[in-house]
Amino acid sequence: MVQRKEPSMLDVTGPARRTPILPPGAAGLVRALPPADRFVLRMRAFSGDAGGFDLTGPLNSARGTSARFAARLGPDEWLLVCPEG
């Protein structure tokens, strides 16, 4: 005969406890940024400059200024961000 035991599944009937994303009083850290154009560039690995964007950074990094930068998302993919227009 098989013995009965307590259920092993997580009880999800109550609210989940979560840590706040921002610490209390940190509302000033979130602000709207000016409009920007965004482009995704996919091509074989390239180390150099393309259209004024520095594409030499390692994976998961960004090169440029806060207004105009290239973020390397993968070995063959960059997110290009520049001021709108």
The tens digit of pLDDT for each residue in 42-58 reads 988 666 778 889 998 89
- Please give the helix or strand (H or E) that residue 73 lies within, else none: strand 69-74
Q: Rg of the chain over CA atoms, in angstroms?
A: 23
Q: Please give the C-alpha separations between residue 19 and each of 16, 24, 30, 76, in angstroms, as whole numbers.
A: 10, 11, 18, 35
- Positive or negative, the CA dihedral 77, 78, 79, 80 is negative
pLDDT of residue 3: 73
pLDDT of residue 68: 92
Tokens for 1?
Answer: 């005969």
pLDDT of residue 58: 92
Closest CA to 78 of 34, 41, 32: 41
pLDDT of residue 62: 95
Global pTM reads: 0.60
pLDDT of residue 77: 92
pLDDT of residue 85: 79
Low pLDDT (below 50) residues in the chain = none
